[in-house]
Amino acid sequence: MKQQSISNTISRLLMGSLVLIPLFSFHLRPERLTLPDTAPRRVEKTEAEWKKLLTPQQFYVTRQHGTERAFTSPLADNHEAGTFHCVCCHEPLFRSTTKFESGTGWPSFYAPISRQIVKELKDTTYGMVRTEVQCAVCDAHLGHVFEDGPAPTGLRYCINGVALEFIKK
Ligand SMILES: [Zn+2]
């Protein structure tokens, strides 16, 4: 829903700029006409294509909404400086500066690199109401976000380590 209203706002802004561009184009330098790059790129593949690219565990978690066993990912304990990317499309999703020790056994972050890069969806499986987190570029299931995280956001992005690849700084 939030994503929907953001895209509505963006389209309204874009439509507004398209109306204004012809009026003001004589006064603007060419680079001012470039529209902001707010929408993430898209990567779309078939299930068979993903299966070929990913390990069985990566495929199960990211494409079939699986959950890795707690304390099994080496990334849960990784406190090196760097960036965590989507294992499917390689988009940078989280920075090590927002990672914290949650004690859950899954890599935990208080914020993604940008709000546009992760999608949040309502998940009512297993008799719980949770907020699922997906990669906005390729729809990979990453994990869930909870409202019991540390400052400054109060959010806890609880992410499957197998859905991430770590690029050291
Ligand atoms: Zn992705």
pTM: 0.77
Compute the distance between CA of residue 91 and CA of residue 159 in angstroms, rounded to an integer: 15
Taking the domain 47-168, which CATH number applies?
2.170.150.20
User: DSSP per residue over 22-78, as a string?
Assistant: HHHGGGS-GGGGSPP--SPP-----HHHHHHHS-HHHHHHHHH---PPTT--GGGG-
CB 131 within 8 A of CB 123: yes
Which band of pLDDT confidence, cut at 50, 70 and 90, is reported for residue 40? confident
Distance between Cα 86 and ligand 1 center (Å): 5
Distance between Cα 65 and ligand 1 center (Å): 13
Q: What is the maximal distance between C-alpha atoms in the chain?
A: 60
DSSP 134: E
Distance between Cα 77 and ligand 1 center (Å): 22
Phi–psi pair at 22, nearest 5 degrees: -60, -35
Query: How far does the chain reach from its first CA to its final CA, in angstroms?
Result: 35
> What does the pLDDT look like over 68-78, one tens digit per residue?
999 999 999 99
Q: Which residues are catalytic?
A: 158
> What does the pLDDT look like over 55-104, one tens digit per residue?
999 999 999 999 999 999 999 999 999 999 999 999 999 999 999 999 99
